[in-house]
Each structure stands twice: as C-alpha cells, then as structure tokens.
Structure 1
Amino acid sequence: MASTFSGISTALSSLRAQRQGLDVAGQNIANVNTEGYSRQRTEMTAVEGVSNVPTIWAKQDPVGTGVNVGDITRIRDELLEARVRTEHSHNAFLSGQHDVFENIQTVFKEPSDTGLQARMSSFWSDWQDLSNNPGDDAVRTKVIQQGGAVAGAINDANTQLNTIWKSARTAATSQIADINTATAEIASLNKGIMQAKVGGLPANELADRRDALVLKLADLAGATATLRESGAVDVSLFGSTLVSGTASRDLAPPGGANTLAERLAGNKVGVTFADNGQPAVVTRGELGSSLESMNTVVPKYATALNEVATALISNVNTIHTAGFDKTGAEGGPFFSGTDAGTVSMAITEPDEVAASTAANLRLDGGNADALGDLATSGTGPDVTYRQLVADLGVAAKSATLKAETQSTITADLDSSHESTSGVSLDEEMSNLLQYQRAYEAAAKLMNTIDSTLNTLINNTGR
C-alpha cells in the first residue's frame, strides 16, 4: 500500500522537475543568438510504484510516485547534420573556385579598352600606319612604344597570375593550420564528453562546440564524422582518420611546387599526413579549392598566356627578321624572351624597325604591312588570346552558376537545420508558461496534502 506521505513525495518530484524544465528553457532563451547552440529539452518520465510484481498479501497502489527528469537532451538530426556537412564542403569548394575565376578575369580585363586585346589591336594598327609612312620616325617610335605596351601587358598579367597562385598557396598553409587546431580541439572535447557521460554529468555545451568544429572541418576540407556510443565522434578525411576518440592527426604544410613556374614544370602541390608522410586526399572544402586553383586552374591560364606570348614573339620576330630597317640592314628580333614572364622589346631605336622588304627599298612598307596582317592570322597571337578569353568566360560563368546553386542548397539545409536544432523564442515562451503552471499546480498539491495531513494528525480523535 502507498505511504500516507507519498503524495508529498510526488508533489516534491514535480516541483523539482518543473524547476529543471524552467532552467532548461531559460538556458535556451539565453543562447538564442549563440552560433552553433542546439536547443535542449527536458526529458521527463513517470515514476512507477515500488514494485509492479503482485504478491499474496500486498497490492501495489495503482498510482505512481511522481516524475523523474531522465536527461537533458540536445535536439539534433544526425542525418540532416551529415547532409549539412556534405553540402557545406561542396559550397566552400565552389565558392573558392568562383573567387579564383573572378580574380583571373580581373587579370585579363576583357572586354575593355585597356586589356591586352586592345593593346594588340593598336599594335597591329600602328604597323599598318607605318606601312603607309615607312620613313616617319614618329610612327616608328610609336610602333616600338606600342610593342613595349603589349609586352608589358603580358608581363603584368603573368605577374598577377603568379600573385593569385601564391595567394592560394598561402591560403592552403593557413587552412591546414586551422584544420590541425580544430582536430586537436575535437579530440580534447571528445575526452571531456566521454568523461562527463561516464560520470553522469551534462555535456551538451561541449558537444555543441565539438559539432561546430566538425562543421568547420567540413568547410575546410570536406571532412565527415561518425558518432560513437561513448559520445565521441570520429572524423575522417576521404577514408583517412583525422580524429579517433581522444587522438588526432596533423596534416603537414603543403609540399611540392613553391612557385607557379615550378608547377608549370610539372611539380604539383600536395598535402600529406605529418605522422607518416602518406598523401592526404582533399578534393572538397576550402583546402580542396586552394589545391585545385594551384594545380589546375591558375596553371591552365598561365600556360595559355605563355602560348600567347610565344605566338607573339615567334610571329613578329619571324617576319621582322625577314625585313630591312631604315639603314638597309637586315632586321633583328623585335621581341626578346621566350614566355609571358620574359617577353620584352629587343630594339629601342626607330631606325631598327624593319619596315621594308628589301635593303634597297628602305622606304618600302611591305614588311610593316605583313606585320600588320598578323591581326587576322589564323596562327597569330590574337587567335590564341581570344581562345583564352573565351574559355575563361565560359569556365567563369559555369563556376558562378555552380556556386550560386550550391549556395542556395546550403542555405536551405541550414534553414532546415536551424528549424530543427535552433531556439524558437515562441516555443520557449510557451514552455515557460507550461512549466510555470505545472510548478504552481505542484505547489498547490503539496499545500493541499499538507493541510489534509494536518487535519488527520492534529484533529482526528478530538
């Protein structure tokens, strides 16, 4: 049979449970704007009687003995979180690619009045002007100046591509440092969470911090996570372990090519694990984008620019050396150098411009006319450059569309995740009212039982 005082115990358990519910609701409200915070819920369970096994001489009271707070749980959707991490890694990669293509487009500035195409057009036009006025030193000087402007534009573009490449390598170094810091902290948080779970202590805030770091690793390198029964998470990078329980592994700084020139010579940039030197596969996230930029994107357009420079040097020098300058001497190379980084003017004096086709026809502009015709040559630098710009435009547009689409997908998933795990003030206000009313009712129950027992103890038998 139930104790005469069991009602007080029941009311007391309710007071404690509702008070804890108020505390949890207050914690949620306090962290409504805390990034990475997951709302918590008080899990209450009814307390059964002392025994639910019938005996011969005793029968359990049909009413239980109150309420227990079983646990304070975080509201999480593991499947949704895995999708969020995956889409974040894609979004970080595509966003990085969008940025690098935008930077490369800025290098070439096409179409514009100051881009390389405009300078080459002016260069060919100046040769046509010289073919009509081969004896004019002012026009000869202009040809030299415009040739220098073309060479300078190519040099500048090459320098800027090198800068973009170096920036990607610097970013990769920083990203690896961030990854190593995050993995070490996740391992440390795993240890704290496991110890708290063994001791029956709350660890929700620790778990929130850890999950935020796991998402950061997804952004940085496309890492994935697996939750253990112990409460710890294991973090993997394309099948290789980054964090296992309380242990973590570091990535070594990026190795391989240190300059764009080294990359163009065939030396790739790679990432390895610091403990055994084995390659770390990274094809997503910010680091994946940096590696893609260094190994593929920037080298592609640097190579194309070198082809433009080579075509310019080869075509112009071939025709120029076949002509004769103002003094009747054979023409020398108009440009020096072999690629975009070294192309420059080989002549500086107006008389050295080989505008004529014969030594005895010093005022003949036939050779200058041939040089001007390079503007429409099927093998000239213009065709090569226009192909570069066209390819860049298509690739940049594709990168932009992919980044925008992925950004929308990621934002939608973040919204779904927030609706699941985020704090709703309206919901918490409703919970506060619910717990408050329950607390007041439990207090009223205790007062009623106290009054009843007072009557039983003090007034019975008088």
Structure 2
Amino acid sequence: MSLSSAISTAQTIFSNTGLQSAALSKNIANASNPDYARRVGVLTIDSAGGQQLSIQRTYDNGLVKQTMYSTAESSAQETLQQKLERIRSLLGGNDYETSPSTYIATLRDNLQAYATKPNESTLASTVISSAKDVSNSLNSISSEIQSMRGSIDQEIQDKLEELRGLLKQFENVNNAIKAGTATGSDVNNELDMRERYLKDISKIVGIRSFTRGDNDMVLYTSDGTMLFDVNARDIMFTPNAAFDAATLGNPVIIDGVTMTAGVNGNTTGRGSLQALLQVRDDIIPTYQTQLDETARGLIEIFAQQDQSASGLDPLPGLFTWKGYAAGDSLPASGSLTGGLASLIKVNDSLVKSLTGGNPTLLRDGGYDVDGLGVADAAYLGNTSNDASYSQILDALVGNFETDIAFDTGAMLDTSTTIADFSTGSVGWLEQYISESSKASDNKAAQLARVTEALSNTTGVSLDEEMSLMLDLEQSYKASSKLVSAVDQMIDSLLQAV
C-alpha cells in the first residue's frame, strides 16, 4: 500500500466514523421517541466505483401498514366502548338502577299489593308514584340519549377539523419528501414526520397508503375512497342543531362518497369516525325505538277498557302522553310511534298533588283522560263505589303477564310481556357492551404487539448503540494508528533525504 493510499484510507475511515458517530448520537438522543426510526450507516458504491457510507432510516413497510390498520381498529373500538359506557351510566351504571325495567318491576309489585288491598288509599298513591318514576325514567333517558347524539355530531365535526389539519400537515411534509428525494437530500426526518401523521390519521379514519416515484404517497380510506393524492380530497359534513327521535344524522362525505358506519359490538369500523357514526345512527336510534315501544306498551296495557260491553275503543288509563286530545286513538299495537318515550306521562286525574287528582280512580275506572274534568261512565267499573272492588286492578296485574306485540325495529322479541321487553332492552345493551369490551381488549393487545414489533425493528436500542459506539471507538483508534504509522514513515524518509 502506498503512503497516499494509506492516507486516503485513513481519511475515509475518519469520515465514515464521523458520519456513524453523528447518526449514533442522534439515535441515542431519540431513544424514547416512538415516532423516530433508527438511523444506520450503509456502504454504497458511487458512480466512480468507490465505496461511500450513507446514513439510512430503518423501515419495515409491512409493520408500518399493520400498525396503521391496528391503530384504526383499536381507535374505533375504544370510541364505541366509551359511548356504550356513557349510555349505561344514564341507566344507573352496572346495576341499571334507574332503567325503565327497574321501575316497571317496582310498579308491577306495587300494583299487585294494591290489587290485594284495594281499600288502601296509601297503596294507590304508591302505585301512582311508581308510575311517575317509570314515565320520568323514559322521559329523561330519551332526552339524554338524543342530547348525546347532538354531542356526537359535534364530536364528528371536531374530528373532521382535526383530520383536515393533519392532511394539510401531511401534504406539506409529503411535498418536502418529494423535493428532497428528487435532489438527493436527506429526508429521513421528514419521513419520520410523515409516518407519525399516518398514525394520527389512522386514529380518525382507517387508511391504506401507496408510495410512487420520488417517495410520493397516496392515501385511501379503508373502504377504498380517495383521501389524499397530491392534496387532500374534499370532506363535507353539516352537523344538526338539535336531535330528537325523528332526526336523521347528516352523512360524512369524502371525495363524493358517503362514509359507512361500523356495525356490531365487535365493530367493523376503522377509526373513530365510523364508530361515532355507528353510535349516532344505529345504536342510539335502536335503543330509542326500544324506549318508545316500552312507552307504547305501557299505555296499551294500562288503557281503560269499555265496561259497558258497547264495543267502545280503549282510552288512555294510568299512562297517557303529552298532546293527547279527546278523540285521539291509542298508538297502534305492535307499531312504532317515534318519540313516545319523551311524551309519556301519568294521567293528571290520578295525581293527588294536582287539582282534582285522585289515585283511587285507578281502581274504579272511568276517569277523565283529556283534562276536561268529565269522566266517561262507559269505562267506570266500580259503579257501586265499593272500597273492596278489585276487578280492574286484577286485570291490570294480569296484563303484566300477557304477551303484546312490539315493532320489529326494536330488535327484540316481537311478542312478549312488557316486563320481559324492558328487561330485554337492558340485555340488548349489556350484550353490546360485553362484546365491545372483549373486542376492545383484544384490539388494544394486538396494537400493543404490533407497535412493539415495529419498535424492535425500527426503534432505538441503547444496548446496540453502546456496542456500536465501542466498535466506532476501535475503528477510530485503528485509523489513528495508521495515520501515526504513515507520519513516522514520512519522517523517516525526510530524515534519510
């Protein structure tokens, strides 16, 4: 080896060691940064056939894509679970203490006690109080879940604003990567940033990515809708000012395509948006239907029946609804009346605290139903004003054990008792929560495993970096010895001359 080639070799080693030391230093500084990919030195061949060291970013395309997929799945499931738990809290938590089914069971028991002792006016008052608990529960829960739909609508709007911001940042860094790749500049930092944006976007909407020339990336939603190509696609959504049982939520439209909602307790949604749409447009409306059918069933089984055998239609009894007027028919059996849960109320004629109210009229029948103060004699059963009269009360108790028809939209049994129907509604919600909770744990665990695998592949290990530091130190010492040897040889030559 000539002296000049030895000096050249030493210079190359010093240069490479310097580059690797800089990369190593950066790796150590970002050891705790989950969005940083480890930098490694790779020997390459230049155009002249010489070797040169380049610093490259570790990358595993398969694991990155799997991380995005798992992030979207876990985000959707977590969002669904949070909203389901919120609905359960409206019913009194794990024991469902304030659910309609709990109050209906109490009403049945108190009515049975009153039927046994129809002459006890205090028992009559207890029945009316229990009935008010039932109607208040239906009213408040119906109001709360519709308010919850409004909150979800605003949350969707906020998520879309966040998504637009992320896509704008993604566009900026994607343009920088394209420009840097075209000119041969170091774009590793920008690649780290772009990968971080991909993870953040995946939490909101499931995505698939495709990389083309100059490291340019294109994004699609998980169902194949174009989300980003050179720039972000149009995203349209208009939140509603308020919600009731008849209000339909407006769609989320990306690039002219309506986003679909997730389905099932183990949701098919990818990203929080699809889970929010699922709760707003599927779960809450279905539960609202169950509440409305519960209210209609109560009105039906407590209706006043014609006692004169004249074939007259039933009239509202213990339960009526806001807005009822003389001549109005009872809601049709087995057919949904939307929003009835928010309107159901106890008949004023039976409420002792109101003027003219008398709880014992429930026993006798034939009481006022339209607020005009006129009772209908055809519906009066206790014509002799017998304090021990229990025929109507016994019939009402029997109605609790009689199957009635329910609308198929409630997603429960279409023919069952009112108590079983209301209990089935709780069971429906509890099953949803149970499936969601199990799926949430599984998807969170899957995300943790994938994230760990990606970290092990592309993340920084301080042990590896310390080992590499020792290697670089030995390489530097070897280069120093080579330079020292060349220096001594040159000195010897000069002295000989």
TM-score when normalising by structure 2: 0.80
Whole-angstrom CA distance in 2 between matches of 1:86 and 1:431 = 34
Selected match of 1:230 from 210, 214, 224: 214
Aligned AA (1:371): L
Whether the 8 Å contact between 2:153 and 2:239 is mirrored in structure 1 is no
Paired position in structure 1 for 2:369: none
CA distance in 2, matches of 1:285, 1:322: 59
Q: Confirm or deny that 1:375 pairs with 2:354.
A: no
Distance 1:453 1:411, change over 3 A: same
What is the one-letter code of the residue matched to 2:394? Answer: D
Matched residue SS, 1:191: helix
What's the counterpart of residue 258 of structure 2?
Answer: 279
Amino acid at match of 2:258: P
Runs of 4+ off more than 6 Å: none
**Aligned-residue offset at 1:393:** 2.1
Query: Which residue number corresponds to residue 423 of structure 2?
Result: 386
Within the candidate set 314, 321, 342, 2:300 is matched to 314
Give the direction of change, closer, same or farther, for the CA distance of 1:231–1:78 in structure 2 (3 Å limit). same
Q: Which of 370, 379, 383 pairs up with 1:359?
A: 383
Which residue in 2 is equivalent to 1:399?
A: 436
Q: For 1:13-56, what per-residue CA distance to the aligned partner results, in whole angstroms no more than 9, with x for missing partners?
A: 110110110110010000111231111111134789x78xxxxx
Counterparts in 2 of 1:332 and 1:219: CA distance versus 1, 3 Å: closer
Q: CA deviation at 1:112?
A: 4.8
Secondary structure of 2:342's aligned partner:
coil
Deviations for 1:227-255, whole angstroms, at most 9, x for unmatched residues?
2231221111132222223x222412356
How far 1:90 sits from its partner (Å)? 1.4
Q: Give the share of equivalent positions with the same residue, in percent.
A: 19
Of 87, 101, 123, the match for 1:117: 101
Q: 2:495 pairs with 447, 459, 462, which one? A: 459
1:72 has 2:42 as partner: no
Q: Match of 2:32?
A: 33
SS in 2 for 1:22: helix
* 1:257 and 1:268 in contact (8 A); partners too: no
Maintained 8 Å contact 2:101/2:426: no
Q: Which runs of 5+ in 2 are unaligned?
A: 262-268, 309-313, 322-336, 352-356, 365-380, 405-416
**Structure 1 414/254 Cα, relative in aligned 2: closer, same or farther at 3 Å?**
farther
Post-superposition shift, 1:322? 5.4
Residue 340 of structure 1 corresponds to 341
Tell me how many residue pairs correspond in the alignment. Answer: 430
Q: Which residue of 1 aligns with 2:225?
A: 240
Q: Which amino acid aligns with 2:436?
A: A
- 1:111-150 mapped onto 2 (5 Å cutoff): 111-150=95-134
Deviation at residue 258 of structure 1 after TM alignment:
5.3
Stretch moving more, 381-390 or 96-105: 96-105
Rounded Cα–Cα distance in structure 2 between residues aligned with 1:204 and 1:367: 82
Asked if 1 retains the 8 angstrom alpha-carbon contact of 2:150 and 2:243, the reply is yes
Q: Does the CA-based 8 Å contact 1:155-1:342 persist in structure 2?
A: yes
Map of 1:17 onto structure 2: 16
- Output the TM-score relative to the length of structure 1: 0.86
- 1:443 and 1:370 map into 2 onto residues whose CA distance is 105
The separation in 1 between residues aligned to 2:100 and 2:259, in whole angstroms, is 40
CA distance in 1, matches of 2:203, 2:390: 62
Following superposition of structure 1 onto structure 2, how do residues 249-264 of structure 1 map, counting pairs within 5 Å? 249-254=233-238, 259-263=243-247
8 Å CA contact retained: 2:204, 2:272: yes
Residue 113 of structure 1, CA deviation:
4.8
In the alignment, which residue of structure 1 is the partner of 2:324? none
**What letter corresponds to residue 30 of structure 1 in structure 2?**
A
Residue of structure 1 equivalent to 2:138: 154
8 A contact 1:186–1:213 mirrored in 2: yes
